[in-house]
Structure 1
């Protein structure tokens, strides 16, 4: 039996446009929650490819990561899984009309920071932490990440 601890590698994007943030309303654990566009990095995919893909699959928007905001860890009390999140500041490029969104996604929502700070249904504490870090200017060049083939 393998008792090795295996955290889940994930990505998320913070996308601001006209004073609002592109968020995802989704179902998690039977509840409606708000999250950044976020998800798991798939095998054979680079971290930046995952960030682009997850943003499109969850919001219907193409986006381009511009800066790394930070690296975050979170252990979900619901399942005990630890998530390692690479969070990026990204630029919204284009909304894809009639995009097919992932299962469990209700749809994209543009929200102000005040709405997010007052929201009782953020998926995890990482949601607001990533946005607050972005607003405080925590942004690092993408070449901070090195991926070997």
Structure 2
């Protein structure tokens, strides 16, 4: 690739897959297309490991502490935003785990309106409400038992402030 060309870079995101009593934890968030369902998810911040990012995002979007257990998958997806027409690629790392009780008085980050616990059947019945096809894809892989150890996710200790794995 020549020096005059812009290098393509996907947006890196993390998503939590949390199941409890046959239901999955989701957030309902306001988007340009209206209210949509999503896994608790968000963008990787500079200087943050993937595991640190998913713990932060779950806390911000659900007011619950998250205890990551395994990698469900890495997903590369391309979307065209309806409002702007912008073509964006996302590299999403889905991590499953458990959540603690909601922290009393902690507000949910904008644009999250509320959290919900839905069954897979309820989610399959409303794909038009999903923020993206990745919402259900991550859950289907979790249901199928797809798990990889978190030790597959490496972060350089000099950049991220904790031991590299």
TM-score range normalised by the length of the shorter chain = over 0.9
Deviation at 1:45, TM superposition (A): 1.1
> Taking structure 1 as the reference length, what is the TM-score of the superposition?
0.95
- Corresponding residue for 2:24? 21
Instruction: Provide the rounded CA distance (Å) in 2 between the counterparts of 1:41 and 1:98.
Output: 26
Match of 1:142 among 135, 150, 156: 150
Q: State which structure, 1 or 2, has the greater radius of gyration over its C-alpha atoms.
A: 2
What TM-score do you get using the length of structure 2 for normalisation? 0.86
CA distance in 2, matches of 1:68, 1:77: 27
User: What is the rounded CA distance, in whole Å, between the counterparts of 2:30 and 2:96 in structure 1?
Assistant: 24
Equivalent position to 2:58, from 55, 59, 66: 55
Which structure features the higher share of strand residues? Answer: 1
Is 1:108 equivalent to 2:115 in the alignment? yes
Deviations 1:64-110 (A, max 9, x none): 11000010011112131111001011111221112121111111111
| Cα distance between partner residues in 1 of 2:23 and 2:94 | 17
Q: In the TM superposition, what are the counterparts of 1:29-108 in structure 2 within 5 Å? A: 29-78=32-81, 79-108=86-115
Choose from 132, 137, 143 the match for 1:124. 132
* Structure 2 unmatched runs, 5+: 158-165
Unpaired runs of 5+ in structure 1? none
Task: State the number of aligned residues.
Answer: 149
Q: Distance in 2 between matches of 1:51 and 1:45?
A: 10
Partners of 1:13 and 1:89 within 8 A in 2:
yes
Deviates more, 1:74-83 or 1:6-15: 74-83
Q: 1:140 to 1:29 in 2, by over 3 A?
A: same
CA distance in 2, matches of 1:75, 1:91: 29
Q: What RMSD, in angstroms, separates the aligned Cα atoms of the two structures?
A: 1.2
Q: Residue 17 of structure 2 aligns to a residue in which SS?
A: strand
